[in-house]
Amino acid sequence: MTGNDRALPGFIPPEVRRLLSYRVSRTTNDAEEKWEEKIVKSLYKRIRKNNMYSELEKALTSSGHLETQCVTIPRSQDGRLQIQTRKFFPHIIYCRLWRFPDLVNPQELRAVSTCQYAFELKRDEVCVNPYHYNRVSSSTRSSISSVSQFSDESPPIVQEVEMVTDPPIGNDISPSPPPGYLSDDSSAQPSPNDVRSPTEILGGDPVEYVEPAFWCTIAYYEMNSKVGDTFQGSQPSLAIDGYTDPSNAERFCLGLISNVNRSAEVEAARKHIGKGVRLYYLGGEVYAECLSENSVFVQSPNCNQRYGWHPATVCKIPPGCNLKIFNNKEFTQLLGQSLVRGGYEEVFNLTRMCTIRMSFVKGWGAEYRRPTITVTPCWVEIHLNGPLQWLDRVLRKMGSPKLPCSSVS
């Protein structure tokens, strides 16, 4: 083996060092620094043999002022690149590294007209030249105004999530895809062709989904008591953390909430919330990403329905991992089926699908000594306002339930 073929442990080629020097923001986190080195090394290995390195460096050194060609890498089956245990959309991660450090999701990018291998073209190669994509301003992003507009887009990194309580029903549940892994869920979902829309079933005036100003409402609890004010979420990305900065539209800071009856157990758990969890509301889908150094535990009936688990199943999201906890498309299909099969009562029961419970630091359920979430030290309950308001309009149009109610019933 020659010197050109062998790399010393920890050795960083000078070309990689140059690419790293063009980062738009520097992290002070050693783990994140190593991660950025890995993704740049990975890219360099893929482009050095086809003379694309010079195109990439030309784009970075000129800040996009010079015209450059596509810098491409092979496209995987699901469009994402995997390095170690993390999977991500390549054009997103490299645009975030070299142009837009606060980039959150694919909907924020649009390829330039001259890009021949733009991600959305779904060709065998995908362009990762950060100057072949432009940021789409919030005012021009498409808004969600009806069910037909729900998107299939997803957030940057989605990883395996450990399921900790209430195992899936039956023995034939396939372990692939693993719980919380972003994949083609078509086999687990009813076919859209088999489901009629609520408008079609109810007849008359349309009962369409309307996006509210606040997509979620979050209440904070300690044991079985609600503490503090309710938080109204309006931003597509918001954090629930344990710090003390006054909450704003993008942060719900639990550390600032006081409680004269707080126990020592609750106080100790609150100190470990840290960066907490980040919620993403993207294209009709809700994701939870654990930013804390401790796992968070989530009970999402919509997620459990997707994988065929018991409705009370609790999922453990380890640090750095994400889980899709709600999908409006799936909810629409369930609503259509409920209108056909069960009528008012079954539609009303879908309100449970619109509530997500999440505990910090301590889990609950069969695998833990705490049987219910109301005996965990600190947790939140998330209500999804859009689906709940939609159900309300559908139920009002349906009228009263068919089953009569009397004083002796």
- Answer whether 217's CB lies under 8 Å from 230's CB: yes
Condensed to tens digits (0 to 9), the pLDDT of residues 127-175 reads 999 999 998 764 433 322 222 223 333 333 333 354 443 322 222 222 2
pLDDT of 255: 93
205 pLDDT higher than 70: no
Query: Residue 302 — φ and ψ, nearest 5°?
Result: -65, -45
Checking if the pLDDT of 4 tops 50, the result is: no
Please compute the mean of the pLDDT values over residues 196-207 and round it to a whole number: 58
**Looking at the predicted structure, is the pLDDT value of residue 7 above 70?**
no
- How much is the pLDDT for 246? 78
Pairing mode, strands 251-253 and 237-241: parallel
Q: Tell me the mean pLDDT in the region 384-406.
A: 83
Separation of alpha carbons 108 and 46, rounded Å:
26
Would you give the distance in Å from CA 356 to the centre of its chain?
A: 14
Measured between alpha carbons, how far is 310 from 331 in angstroms, rounded to an integer?
17
What DSSP character marks residue 157? B
Q: CA-CA distance, 243 to 250, in Å (whole number)?
A: 13
Confidence of residue 202 (pLDDT cuts 50, 70, 90): low
Asked if 61 contacts 22 with a C-beta cutoff of 8 angstroms, the reply is yes
261 CB burial (10 A radius; 0-12, 13-18, 19+): exposed
Per-residue pLDDT band for 27 (boundaries 50, 70, 90) equals low
- Give this prediction's pTM: 0.56
Q: How many CB atoms lie within 10 A of CB 20?
A: 17
Q: How would DSSP label each residue in 47-106?
A: HGGGT-HHHHHHHHHTTT-S-----EEEPPTTS-EEETTEEE-HHHHHHHHHT-TT---G
Structure tokens at 349: 């029961």
Residue 152 CA to its chain's centroid (Å): 12
Residue 254: the pLDDT is 95
Q: Do domains 14-135 and 216-397 have the same CATH topology?
A: no
Output the pLDDT for position 405. Answer: 59
pLDDT band at 186 (very low <50, low <70, confident <90, very high): very low
Which of these, 374, 383, 287, 394, lies nearest to 332 by C-alpha position? 394
What CA–CA distance (Å, rounded) separates 323 from 106?
Answer: 17
User: What's the CA gap between 393 and 390, in Å, rounded?
Assistant: 5
Q: At residue 123, what is the residue type?
A: R
Q: What are the residue ranges spanned by the domains of the chain?
A: 14-135, 216-397
Q: Of 22-31, 155-164, 282-291, where does the model show the most confidence?
A: 282-291
The larger pLDDT score, comparing residue 305 to residue 204, is at 305
pLDDT at 265: 95
May I ask the CATH class of domain 216-397?
A: mainly beta
Q: What is the pLDDT of residue 32?
A: 78
pLDDT of residue 257: 94
Q: Is the pLDDT of residue 194 over 80?
A: no
**Cross-strand pairs, 380:** 220, 358
pLDDT (0 to 100) of residue 259: 94
Q: Where is mean pLDDT largest: 1-5, 23-27, 252-256, 303-307?
A: 252-256
- pLDDT at 189 (0 to 100): 34
CB-CB contact of 108 with 120 (8 Å): no
Indicate the average pLDDT of the chain: 78
Summarize the confidence of residues 293-310 as an average pLDDT: 90
Please tell me which of 32-36, 223-227, 346-350 the model is most confident about, judged by mean pLDDT: 223-227
Closest CA to 384 of 211, 201, 226: 211
Residue 213: what pLDDT?
Answer: 92
pLDDT at 311 over 60: yes
Distance of alpha carbon 173 from alpha carbon 309, whole angstroms: 9
For 39-62, what is the mean pLDDT? Answer: 90
The CATH superfamily assigned to 14-135 is: SMAD MH1 domain (3.90.520.10)
Cβ-based neighbours of 228, under 8 Å, separated by 6 or more: 220, 254, 257, 258, 259
